[in-house]
Amino acid sequence: MPTIGWFEILIIVAIAIIVLGPKDFPIMLKKAGSWIGSAKKYINNIQNEVSNIDIEDNQIEKKEEKKDDS
C-alpha cells in the first residue's frame, strides 16, 4: 500500500489553496476536520460494540460450560 509523505501532502495543500483560495481554505480545513472526527467517533463506536458482543459471547459460553460440567 503506498504511503503519503510530507512532500505529497505539501503538494495537495498547495493545490487546495490555489483552487479554493486562501480565504476559503481554513473553512474547508475545519469542515474536513469535523468530518474526520465524526468518522473516527463512528468507527470507534462500532469497534466498541463488536468487542462488547465478543465479551458477552465469551461469558455465555463459560456459563454453558459450567452448566454442562455440573
What cell was used for 41? 467517533
Domain positions in the chain are 22-69
Q: Return the pLDDT at 65.
A: 72
Q: What is the mean pLDDT of residues 39-58?
A: 88
Amino acid at 60: I
What is the rounded CA–CA span in Å between residue 14 and residue 8? 10
pLDDT tens, position by position, 1-43: 678 899 998 999 999 999 999 899 999 999 999 999 999 999 9
Higher pLDDT residue, 62 or 50? 50
Buried residues in 8-28 as b, exposed as e (16+ CB within 10 A): eeeeeeeeeeeeeeeeeeeee
Cell 465469551, residue located: 58
